[in-house]
Structure 1
Amino acid sequence: MSRQHPQINLSRRSLFKFGAGAIGTGVLTAGLGSNLLAAEKKAPAEDDITPDKALQELLDGNERFVNRKRKNPHQTYSRLVEVAKGQKPFASVLGCADSRVPSEIVFDQGLGDLFVCRVAGNIATREEIGSLEFGSLVLGSKIIMVVGHERCGAVDAAIKGAEVPGQIGSLLEAIKPSVESSKGKSGDKIENACKANVLVQVEKLKSSPVLSELINAEKLKIVGVYYDLDTGRISRVV
C-alpha cells in the first residue's frame, strides 16, 4: 500500500476555532475540518483507500500474522525517513495496554500505518476519544478498530470487584457497565464481558459528534473485534 504523508500544520488559533464552533457548524467545514479538506485537495490519491478497504487491510494483515506469512511492510529506514516528515495513518486502533497484543505486529503493519491508543481494558476515556478524533479528522484515518482480547485482566478484575490501589479503580469503574450487561449470558463470563466491553466502547466512540459526522460522510467506519491470545486471530464483534 502506498500513501503520501502531507504535513498538516495546526495553530493554537485553529484549535480554538474548532473547539468553539466545529460541532455547531459541521466538523467537516470548520476548524480542523478545513485543514483536513485542504490537505485532501493537495493529495487526492489519499481518497483511494476507503473505510472498507482500510478494514480489509487490517483483516488481511491479521490473517498473514496468524498464518506466519507476515510481510513486515513499511519497516525500512527509508520508511522511517518518509514518515518523519508527516503522518497519514490509514487506520486507528483503540486497544488494551496488554503486552501480548501489539497492534503493528498482529495486523502486520509498519511505521506510519496505525494511529494507536492503548489503555488497560481498551476503554474510551475522554482523552482516548479526543486522540481518536484527532487521528480521524486531522490525520485522515479511515477506520477505528476497538480491540478487546481474551482473558483481559482489567475485565476480570472488574468482574471480581477487586479492591485495587491508586487510580486502577477508575479503569474498573469504566468497565463495570459492560460486566453488568453481560450477566446471565451462556458461555465463559470473562469472554462475554470482554466482548460486551468492546460493544460499549464502540458506542461511546460513535456518540462523538466529530466521529459521527465523519461516519455520516462515509469517511470513517468504527468496528469492534476480539483477539484470541492463543491463536492470534481477530474476530468481528460488531
Structure 2
Amino acid sequence: MERIFSRRNILKLGAGALGTGVVTAGVGSQLVSPPKVIAENNISPDQALQQLLEGNERFVNRKRKNPHQSYTRLTEVAKGQKPFASILSCADSRVPSEIIFDQGFGDLFVCRVAGNVATPEEIGSLEFGSLILGSKVIMVLGHERCGAVDATIKGAQVPGQIGSLVAAIQPGIEQSKNQPGDKLENACKANVRAQIEKLKKSTVLSQLIQENKLKIVGGYYDLDTSKITIVS
C-alpha cells in the first residue's frame, strides 16, 4: 500500500500551512524541524503499554519513582519531545495522567477533554503525537463516576457548548443499554470503546496500526483505588 501519510508529506504540508497561517507557530515550528523532534523511540507499542501499566502499579502501591521530574530533564526536553505514549483523558481534576502513571516531563502526550471524547481537534492532536512525535500507544482513559457520562445518561439540559460533549458521548450510552451491572460504569466503559472506534477511523492512525507502530487501547480509572484496568 502506498504510504500516503508519510512523515515527509506531513512535514511538507506543515511547512506550506505555515505560509498561509493555518498551523500555529508552536506546532509549525516543530513540523519544519524534523531532525530535532521526530521520535525514533526504540520500544514497541506493547512495551509502551507495559510501561504505562507499570507506572500505574507503582502509584497504586505507593512506590512511585517520580521519574523525569528533575530540572535536568526539564532542560533536556525543552529542546524537543519524544513521548512514548499518548493519553486521551477526561478533564476531571482527579485524573492527572503524569501522576497516576508515575511519569514526568516529556513522557506523555496528553489530551484532556470532558468525557474523554475524540473530537476532530483531539484526533488531530493525537495524529500529530503519533505520526510526528513517535508516540507508540494511545490510551483512551475513562474513569469511575464520570460526571459528563452521568449527565448524558440522565438527559440533562445543558447550556452553551456543553451539549456538544453530550452528543459525542451519546453513542457509547446507546451501546451500554440493557447490560447487566452498574449502569454508569457500563456507560463509562462503553464510551471509551466508542471513542476508540472513532480514533481507529483516522487514516493516519489506522496506517500506523497496520504497520505495527501504534496501538490504541482503553483504560478505566478507579477514583477510589487509583487502579487502571484495560477496557477491551
Q: TM-score range by the shorter chain?
A: 0.7 to 0.9
Q: Give the superposition deviation at 1:32.
A: 2.3
- TM-score (normalizing by structure 2): 0.87
Which of residues 74, 81, 89 in structure 2 aligns to 1:95?
89
The superposition leaves residues 25-57 of structure 1 with CA deviations (integer Å, 9 ceiling, x where unpaired) of 521364127889x759x98xx342110110000
Per the alignment, residue 22 of structure 2 pairs with none
Per the alignment, residue 9 of structure 2 pairs with 31
Which of residues 155, 162, 172 in structure 2 aligns to 1:161?
155
Per the alignment, residue 144 of structure 1 pairs with 138
Which of residues 208, 211, 216 in structure 1 aligns to 2:210?
216
Per the alignment, residue 12 of structure 1 pairs with none
2:88–2:112: 8 Å Cα contact kept in structure 1?
yes
Distance 1:115 1:210 in 2: 17
- TM-score (normalizing by structure 1): 0.84
Per the alignment, residue 133 of structure 1 pairs with 127
Per the alignment, residue 79 of structure 1 pairs with 73
2:7–2:132: 8 Å Cα contact kept in structure 1?
no
Distance 1:83 1:47 in 2: 14
Distance 1:141 1:165 in 2: 36
- Residue type of the alignment partner of 1:123: V
1:26–1:213: 8 Å Cα contact kept in structure 2?
no
Q: Secondary structure, in 3 states, of the residue corresponding to 1:231?
A: coil
- Residue type of the alignment partner of 1:72: N
1:66–1:233: 8 Å Cα contact kept in structure 2?
yes
Distance 1:189 1:143 in 2: 29
The superposition leaves residues 140-165 of structure 1 with CA deviations (integer Å, 9 ceiling, x where unpaired) of 00000000000000000000000111
1:199-210 equivalence runs, <5 A: 199-210=193-204
Per the alignment, residue 18 of structure 1 pairs with none
Distance 1:118 1:96 in 2: 5
The alpha-carbon distance between structure 1 residues 81 and 29, as it changes in their structure 2 partners (threshold 3 A), is closer
CA RMSD of aligned residues (A): 2.1
Distance 2:7 2:86 in 1: 22
Identity %, equivalent residues = 70
Which of residues 176, 180, 183 in structure 2 aligns to 1:186?
180
* Runs of 4+ in structure 1 over 4 Å off: 33-36
Query: Does 114-123 or 175-184 show the bigger shift?
Result: 175-184
Matched, 1:56 2:50: yes
Q: Secondary structure, in 3 states, of the residue corresponding to 1:48?
A: coil
Which of residues 93, 112, 134 in structure 2 aligns to 1:118?
112
Per the alignment, residue 169 of structure 2 pairs with 175
Distance 1:33 1:145 in 2: 25
2:7–2:131: 8 Å Cα contact kept in structure 1?
no
Specify every segment of 5 or more residues in structure 2 that has no aligned partner in the other structure, as ranges. 13-30
- Residue type of the alignment partner of 1:198: V
Per the alignment, residue 63 of structure 2 pairs with 69
